[in-house]
A and B are shown apart, each in its own frame.
Chain A
């Protein structure tokens, strides 16, 4: 018994180490790709550091400037230096803000997590509820109306919804602010923050909700047509019990994978919405750093996004393993 426990622990440790290695390798490749690609993009990186004055620089001045920022060296040397520093936790300075990248990102990271995270959770809770409701009432009037409205909202571009909402609730009714993350000068005002979140949240939820709700509805309907549902009914279980205890449980793995896969999707949506509402988050920052060739900034932002995506996938796999017994990795696969 003791020996068996030891072997299991060893196996767990080994697979955890393997996972960690995979994550680090992915991040390394991502950083390499972004590092090269950002330098391949046309444009002048000096502009982000020196602003308009770049145009008045002499050739010699330009060269000194390039040297100062370390941009004169071959790209692989630059990458080597960046990597050596990054390994010690120093990700360089932002050309535009002339501050440590981590300092500039600071609060914007939290802002994006707040907006994206709440949009994400609300979207999925509502989608699950709506999907289950529609599946229970398949083909009823309520189901049909919800399906029609859902299809329409799903087709409207989010920036347009954002503009209409701003027009109605900010300009005409003056109920809600149209931009920013908090009332100017008071970042700790909780109610103010919530008020600033409402409009971007509505836009994000409206533009994603039906896509997921419809998937859940269809998955669930497919599930209720399985043979085991018939056996459950002949056992004497009620429809409601079967739906909750069997069908919803069985679509959970696909639901969770869907949630994990959709993190980049909703995060991407957040970036656009942030831009429309001038919300000081990663999206706005990312957009600007790409526009101004703020290399270090862009790289760190991409890596951060990458970390979120990878963690989400790992989480999804972990949860899947614990819900669906068929997905559990065999102790020793055929190919290993």
Chain B
């Protein structure tokens, strides 16, 4: 099957007063039609930058310095603002982290939704209204006729995120980029939104690029998972592979920092922080924080080692000559069972 979105060796630099920050350092992945790919990583690892670059809405200081982004086989990185405007909304929609800030507070939900409906071709008023109502129904907003006249401040967080999803779907895109769509919501609402996304995918066959820092959330939606660290993909595989047999110490660390039901919710936070990408460290960027680090980790960056045909990780631990290390976590269907 042809991939819908293909990111090839993408590099993004930010120019600041202090120097050049390498936010994304050679990331490659593909999203296939109808599937959900989750990009997982801590804050500051380049997730948001990556998905903003796909739609060409990077901050003016951020520049793509290498690699390319293909959508349905056509190169979309480096396109002009006009061509990108035609892709946004119609081909690729996006949902943001904080729904309370993502809508214009002075316009009704209906107006903002209608704007998204009208942007790629004018519709007569009645048709537009019908489409708005249908979209609101699709995302599970009750009494849409009444609700379309509400202002954002009259909506709850979960309702707002539903409205934002409706806006993202207005142009019938083939790909939805969801940048931490549940992070700002409380847990019960989180579950509702995740269910909504899954239902929508079943109904419309839309592909989802799901960004999150929370492997627990990702377990509920992802078909495939890519773990991002310091602007690079360090482990990637199908959800089953990642959740049953994680191989990278960073992935272990992410699992260990999840609350664990069996051990009375004790979680083990990862020490340290994402390295300063103004001066990227020599060798493996994760070596500093890695209790399993080998001497070579501080010298040379690990290549990608294949575990299976679809599962690979960038860690020297997978080298045939490396000492055998057992994963400190045991995970079963998204639940952390053992956490040593």
Contact = CB atoms under 8 A, between A and B. Distances in A.
B88 A236 contact: yes
Contact of B81 (A227, A231, A239): A239
Nearest to A233: B57
A119 B237 CA distance: 68
Contacts of A323: 106
A231 B105 contact: no
B147 to A, nearest CB: 15
A227 B107 CA distance: 15
A249 interface: yes
A193 interface: no
A237 B96 contact: no
Nearest to A139: B60
B167 interface: yes
Contact of A326 (B85, B86, B92, B105): B105
Interface stretch (B114-122, B197-205, B252-260): B114-122
Contact of A325 (B93, B94, B103, B106): B106
A238 B88 CA distance: 10
B106 A250 contact: yes
Given A324-B106, A326-B153, A227 B98 contact: yes
User: Which of A230, A234, A246, A249 has its CB near the most chain B CB atoms (within 10 A)?
Assistant: A234
B82 to A, nearest CB: 8
B295 interface: no
B246 interface: no
Contacts of A186: none
Chain A contact residues: helix, strand, loop or mixed: helix
B104 interface: yes
Contact of A235 (B52, B86, B115, B153): B115
A114 interface: no
B96 to A, nearest CB: 6
B55 interface: yes
Contacts of A228: 101-105
Interface string A217-235: 0000000001110111111
B104 A235 contact: no
Interface in B54-94: 55, 57, 81, 85-90, 92-94
Contacts of A249: 106-107
Which size bracket describes the interface of B in this complex? 20 to 34
Given A250-B106, A326-B153, A235 B96 contact: no
A236 B87 CA distance: 7
Given A235-B119, A237-B119, A227 B89 contact: no
Interface in A298-336: 323-326
Contacts of A233: 55, 57, 88
Contacts of B101: 226-228
Given A227-B98, A230-B57, A230-B96, A236 B120 contact: yes
B104 A250 contact: yes
A237 B57 contact: no
A323 B81 CA distance: 31
B171 interface: yes
Nearest to A249: B106
Contacts of A235: 88-89, 115-116, 119, 167, 170-171
A227 B120 contact: no
A234 B88 contact: yes
B98 A234 contact: no
B57 to A, nearest CB: 5
Contact of A231 (B85, B87, B102, B153): B102
B29 interface: no
A230 B92 CA distance: 14
B149 to A, nearest CB: 11
B62 to A, nearest CB: 13
A324 B108 CA distance: 11
Interface string A86-111: 00000000000000000000000000
Contacts of A245: 115
A238 B83 CA distance: 11
B164 interface: yes
Contact of B55 (A226, A234, A238): A234
B151 A237 contact: no
A327 B52 CA distance: 33
A231 B86 contact: no
Interface in B144-193: 151, 153, 164, 167-168, 170-171
A234 B168 contact: yes
B119 to A, nearest CB: 5
Contacts of A246: 104, 107
Nearest to A231: B102
Given A226-B101, A234-B57, A237-B115, A325 B151 contact: yes
Contacts of A234: 55, 57, 88-89, 92-94, 168
A231 B167 contact: yes
B122 to A, nearest CB: 13
Contacts of A226: 101
Contacts of B151: 325-326
A238 B119 CA distance: 9
Contacts of A236: 85-90, 116, 119-120, 171
Contacts of B116: 235-236
Interface in A49-78: none
Nearest to B91: A236
Contacts of A227: 96, 98, 101-102
A228 B93 CA distance: 14
A239 B151 CA distance: 23
List of 4 A-B pairs having minimum Cβ-Cβ separation, nearest first? A236-B89, A227-B101, A234-B94, A236-B88
Interface of A: 226-228, 230-239, 245-246, 249-250, 323-326
15 contacts: A227-B96, A228-B102, A231-B167, A232-B104, A232-B115, A235-B88, A238-B81, A245-B115, A249-B106, A250-B105, A250-B106, A324-B105, A324-B106, A325-B151, A326-B153
Interface of B: 52, 55, 57, 81, 85-90, 92-94, 96, 98, 101-107, 115-116, 119-120, 151, 153, 164, 167-168, 170-171
